[in-house]
Structure 1
Amino acid sequence: MNKLLVVLVLAVLSLCELEKHEFRSRFSRIKTNDDGDEFSFQNKVLYFDKGSINDNHELIIDITARDLEIHLQLDEILFSDRNPYRPGTSIEDTSFLAIPKEGFADLKTSQPLNDSEKSCSFVQMSYRFEYADLGYTAKAIKNVDIAPSITYIMKNYPTKQIYRLEGEEFEYDIEELACDKYYSLWYYISFVVHKYGIVGTDCIPNTGIPSGTTDACSPGSTGKYEKWLVGYKEALFFGDNDAVKEALIKFGPIYHGDYGKVIGWEGNNWVTVEVSESTGRYVLGTQQIDSPATDQYGYVYASVDGSNKPVIPAADCTTTPSLPECSGDCNPNTGKTEEQCACIDGDIRPFCKTCTGKNQPTVDCKCPDVKEGDYTKAKCEEDKGVIPPSDCTGKTEEQCACIDGDTR
């Protein structure tokens, strides 16, 4: 098969799109190209679709010889390259919940869509998939309670897809997204999240695609304009029950190929999240863990360029008051060190705040784990003297922000 034809195949065939054409039906571990060559997905590896959206709303995908060979364009990250986002957790634990049961029903993502939101078909269809994936991931990893604005994602869809191969470019226009066009365009959601993150519906409601820009909340909204999960993409993984547990403790909630949304385990049961047919809201459930199962797969939203340093979200003491950092000698935590009392949601101690700029909001603030807004972890660490500017050599702007005198 000539290279141009393979590029055209790649233009309509992708890791996530293959699955979502059947709304996440059974995904085969083995892929066979037109020459009969087989490619096998490995256990405990995150497989991301290649590509990123630039500032011109163009999706750029650089193709390699391997992509041509297997007819898929993939970036890979080993599970072993990442640590649990909650230090001290293990797949050997008798239970683990990415999101506590206590307060689950009150989370904004758990609420049913209203009639105005249902009027946008893309929003309604996303409620059973990306809506929950993104909302519960944001809660688990960032400890933020939002209902994801799908219309914010729709507004930021790419307008063009460009493949680059050996100095040549192959491009085609992407159909403009509308509320009644949702079937063949799921593929781009992950790329939009990677570039623009997500915001809450209290900032940009799900009642219609914004007519203007999305760099501020919609007129009349009561929420705050905050972007979450910038730098995150959806990834596919394979493995046994231990792989599923490892994905949960390292990346947060998953979408399991057999059980749907899974947020953890208790004893011999997976703790699942499902839509109630009577109320239309998300409720908790359980599925027995199939001990002999060895060929499972699932999806997670994970940081493509994320650090492998353990990160623990600040505890929300209003929903989990019994945690050590919320009770006993830590209530109140005034005058206590972080070692004595871990940071909690809304903590006013200077070292518990996330840096938004050099020495902002405090000198002792923590560097962001991934890029939030315009301030990257690399730039923050440089400002604090943790890494010298020369360490930016060979890195992308996402990994290392541009600085004065930058030679890249």
Structure 2
Amino acid sequence: MLSYMAFNKLLLVFILISISLCGTHKRGIRQSFSRTRTNVGYLFEEKVLYFGEGTINDEGELIIDLDDLEYQFDKDVVPFSERNPYRAGTAITNNSFLAVTLPSGGFEELKTSQALNLDEEMCNFVNQTYNSLTYALLGYTALALQGADIAPSITYIMKNYPTKSINRKEGQDDDESVLQQPTCVDNTNNQITFAVHKSGVVGSDCIPNTEVPLSTTECTLPDGIYEKYLVGFKYANFFGGDNDAVKEALIKFGPAFVTNYGQLIIGWDSENWTTVIRSHDTGMYILDTKKIDPDAGGLQGYLYAQVDGDDTPVIPPADCSGKTEAECACIESDTRPFCITCTAKDVPSSECQCPADASGTYTKAQCEEDKASTEKEATGSFRVTLSVIVTAVVLPVLALFI
């Protein structure tokens, strides 16, 4: 029979083993849920775009489907992983990146960069949009994603504002309200995202930023070119990311305003973010820098992104060898295990991705069920391994006290 002292020693060994195993288990839990940070709340995932719910119909009415609303956002979200970089050869591991392509004269030659003239500043709505960098975000996004060097016509957007808001919920009567139309003395711009999503934006060389036009079906200036940009794009929020999340947003969606810094970021180099600010001297947009904090976390921001998106691959498979999906998105003929579509459970590997279609011999639903089963089996295997470790460690210890 064990002595009292021997029993205490044995009890201490059990306690130490339990603490060690529990610590290992807890670390595993933290790693599994590391995408959610407590400082932004548990409601939002990292590296996901959240859009405002609402769409303008052909009658100019803003339809808000309350059944599609969740935590003030549309239920349909866009994970960063579902989009590819819009420029070939770009990755978050690049030493430097600039979202916009610069002309020979540099950043200050771009049309978006130009300061408003006195007549444009007289339109308070336009002036406020310029000062808040919304003007810059729209202009540089059009340049980055669609190659359009324009000075955005904010008055065009104003004219395309919704005339009525309709909150709609199944089984209930519509809740309708008439919306006040923006004017040059009104700086309320909370409907810009819906107007851009429906009608896009044209250049101010087509419809000038001096007054709201009577119509937006054609240019009001004789030498203007009527071409819409950013149709289908919408204001989107992202929450709780680190520096890599911001870089991924930049290479996949374009310029982003990061609220933690209070800066519009359009790129980076080895040490700094490349930002856009308004010059105190000239009033125009100029480039600036902001030191990259290597320990930054909980970064939040917003940008304009295409809701439906274009997932056309742009990076050759050879450039992706040895890189994660975040660093280099999957494309057709990609041989990395996590880029290959599953054809059966764990076939061709446990890392394969589920098919997008719900139909076929091996459906998406079946694949997701199999992956959950594989994960459960792996967890069970881990528990068995722990029990073996306990047996291997504890039994020899017991022998010391017998």
TM-score interval, normalised by the smaller of the two chains = 0.5 to 0.7
Shift of 1:47: 0.4
Asked if the contact 1:198–1:229 (Cα under 8 Å) also holds between the matched residues in 2, the reply is yes
Shift of 1:148: 0.2
Q: Name the residue aligned to 1:274.
A: 277
Asked if the contact 1:95–1:267 (Cα under 8 Å) also holds between the matched residues in 2, the reply is yes
Return the structure number with greater helix share: 2
Q: Name the residue aligned to 2:320.
A: none
Asked if the contact 1:49–1:74 (Cα under 8 Å) also holds between the matched residues in 2, the reply is no
Q: What per-residue deviation string (whole Å, max 9, x for no partner) do you get for residues 337-374 of structure 1?
A: xxxxxxxxxxxxxxxxxxxxxxxxxxxxxxxxxxxxxx
Q: Name the residue aligned to 2:121.
A: 118
User: Matches of 1:195 and 1:71 in 2, distance apart?
Assistant: 20
Does 1:227 pair with 2:239?
no
Amino acid paired to 2:127: Q
Instruction: Report which stretch shifted further, 222-231 or 39-48.
Output: 39-48
User: Matches of 2:57 and 2:69 in 1, distance apart?
Assistant: 24
Secondary structure of 2:126 counterpart: helix
Asked if the contact 1:81–1:308 (Cα under 8 Å) also holds between the matched residues in 2, the reply is yes
Does 1:173 pair with 2:178?
yes
Asked if the contact 2:50–2:74 (Cα under 8 Å) also holds between the matched residues in 1, the reply is no
TM-score by length of 1: 0.64
Q: Name the residue aligned to 2:383.
A: none
Shift of 1:264: 0.4
Q: Name the residue aligned to 1:255.
A: 257
Which structure has the bigger radius of gyration?
2
| Structure 2 unaligned blocks of 5 or more | 1-38, 316-402
Does 1:80 pair with 2:102?
no
Q: Name the residue aligned to 2:194.
A: 191
Asked if the contact 2:96–2:268 (Cα under 8 Å) also holds between the matched residues in 1, the reply is yes
User: Matches of 1:66 and 1:302 in 2, distance apart?
Assistant: 19
| Structure 1 unaligned blocks of 5 or more | 1-27, 31-38, 313-408
Q: What per-residue deviation string (whole Å, max 9, x for no partner) do you get for residues 221-243 of structure 1?
A: 31110001100001001211000
When residues 252 and 215 of structure 1 are mapped into structure 2, their CA distance, relative to the original with a 3 A threshold, is same
Counterparts of residues 75-114 of structure 1 (less than 5 Å): 75-100=76-101, 103-114=106-117
User: Matches of 1:61 and 1:242 in 2, distance apart?
Assistant: 33
User: Matches of 2:243 and 2:67 in 1, distance apart?
Assistant: 33
Q: Name the residue aligned to 1:366.
A: none
Shift of 1:65: 7.2
Q: Name the residue aligned to 1:142.
A: 146
Amino acid paired to 1:276: S
Shift of 1:40: 2.0
When residues 74 and 131 of structure 1 are mapped into structure 2, their CA distance, relative to the original with a 3 A threshold, is farther
Amino acid paired to 1:150: I
Out of 239, 242, 251, the residue aligned to residue 240 of structure 1 is 242
Question: How many residues of Structure 1 are paired with residues of Structure 2 in the alignment?
Answer: 271
User: Matches of 2:298 and 2:292 in 1, distance apart?
Assistant: 13
Shift of 1:186: 2.0
When residues 279 and 66 of structure 1 are mapped into structure 2, their CA distance, relative to the original with a 3 A threshold, is closer
User: Matches of 2:288 and 2:146 in 1, distance apart?
Assistant: 23
Q: What per-residue deviation string (whole Å, max 9, x for no partner) do you get for residues 242-299 of structure 1?
A: 0000000001111111141111001110000100011100000000001111100111
User: Matches of 2:73 and 2:258 in 1, distance apart?
Assistant: 22
Asked if the contact 1:83–1:309 (Cα under 8 Å) also holds between the matched residues in 2, the reply is yes
Shift of 1:311: 5.5
Asked if the contact 2:112–2:136 (Cα under 8 Å) also holds between the matched residues in 1, the reply is yes
User: Matches of 1:120 and 1:251 in 2, distance apart?
Assistant: 30
Asked if the contact 1:135–1:148 (Cα under 8 Å) also holds between the matched residues in 2, the reply is yes
User: Matches of 2:197 and 2:275 in 1, distance apart?
Assistant: 26
Percent identity over paired residues: 53
TM-score by length of 2: 0.65
Q: Name the residue aligned to 1:214.
A: 216
Shift of 1:66: 5.8
Amino acid paired to 1:292: D
User: Matches of 1:174 and 1:154 in 2, distance apart?
Assistant: 12
User: Matches of 2:69 and 2:124 in 1, distance apart?
Assistant: 37
When residues 57 and 227 of structure 1 are mapped into structure 2, their CA distance, relative to the original with a 3 A threshold, is same
Q: Name the residue aligned to 2:40.
A: 29
Q: Name the residue aligned to 2:32.
A: none
Secondary structure of 1:186 counterpart: coil
When residues 65 and 120 of structure 1 are mapped into structure 2, their CA distance, relative to the original with a 3 A threshold, is closer
